[in-house]
Amino acid sequence: MRGRVAVVTGGGRGIGRAVAERLGREGARVAVVYRSNDAAAEETAGLVEAAGGEVELFRGDVASAEDVRGIFKQILETFGGVDILVNNAGITRDNLLLRMKDSEFDEVINTNLRGTYYCTRAALRPMIRARYGRIINISSVVGLMGNAGQANYAASKAGIIGFTKSVARELAERGITANAVTPGYIETDITGELPESVQQQILAQIPVGRFGRPEEVAEVVAFLARESAGYITGQTIGVDGGMVMQ
């Protein structure tokens, strides 16, 4: 991966941070995209540098077409290309369907699904020019199995899987692969907010018997990001302690 340019959206915290650090350790030049938490993003940058990687931070909203255009323009000016794109930025706005507000539905779809679409579209031109690309989209087990209280989130994450397969088919002949990763419950700010009783209920559904770690998702992302993974495309790979067995 040495010298490859990797864009990691939502790289300021959680899974994205672990991915940025891991790709940096493997020699990638990392562009970290985050929305607002400057302190967290700076911390990520420090970790990538400590791992021996080159890193630049880009602040903006992946749900905004204008922001994404601007961010990718800056990334291309800074690094000269995009080889690896990890669409990881994501949010939850949980509510039962009867109580769900349109704004909760829209925010989740716009960040998770539309953001993935905008960033992928922006990365395609440089990838097609280089006849090389690795696109890795972070979906979720919830996109495969559904979850009460997360109809908006499940729809966005299932949408990412269909999107990934279509991108994979469109670009397979151009040296570009696209795959989805479906993490189960990973210890980050998203899961840290769950009440203790809910955490216990979830643990009961995980055969491995524990939550996952961001580094365990980064392991699979790094595998798919390598040049040697060029014959794997359109796949959905679980990192979920056995929650969903396909």
Q: Interior CA angle at 238 toward 233 and 244, to 5°?
A: 130
Q: How far is the CB of 40 from ligand NDP (least distance, A)?
A: 5
Using a 10 angstrom Cβ sphere, with 0-12 exposed, 13-18 middle and 19 or more buried, the burial of residue 193 is exposed
Nearer to ligand NDP, 65 or 91 (CB): 91
Q: What is the total count of residues that contact ligand NDP (CB under 6 A)?
A: 31
Two structure tokens written together for 37: 């938490």
Interface stretch with ligand NDP, choices 32-40, 118-126, 128-136, 172-180 (CB under 6 A): 32-40
Residue 159 is classified by DSSP as: H
Residue for token digits 């580094």?
215
Instruction: Calculate the alpha carbon distances from 75 to 69, 80, 124, 130, 176 in Å.
Output: 10, 7, 13, 16, 19
Is residue 231 among the annotated active site residues?
no
- Count of CA atoms in the C-beta half-sphere (13 A) of 78: 19
Residues 132, 175 contacting (CB under 8 angstroms): yes
Question: Does residue 62 touch ligand NDP according to CB under 6 A?
Answer: yes
Binding mask 179-198 for ligand NDP (x = CB under 6 A): ----x-xx-xxxx-------
Ligand-binding site membership of 155 (annotated):
yes
Nearer to ligand NDP, 1 or 86 (CB): 86
Question: Does residue 35 touch ligand NDP according to CB under 6 A?
Answer: yes
Binding mask 75-114 for ligand NDP (x = CB under 6 A): -------------xxxx-------------------x---
| The only residue of 4, 7, 16, 24 in contact with ligand NDP, by rule CB under 6 A | 16
Paired with 32 in beta bridges are 8, 57
Two structure tokens written together for 76: 């291309």
Ligand-binding site membership of 45 (annotated):
no
Amino acid at 88: N
Ligand-binding site membership of 146 (annotated):
no
Annotated binding site: 10-13, 88, 153-157, 186
Residues annotated as part of the active site: 153
Contact residues for ligand NDP, defined by CB under 6 A: 9-10, 12-16, 33-37, 40, 61-63, 88-91, 111, 115, 138, 140, 183, 185-186, 188-191
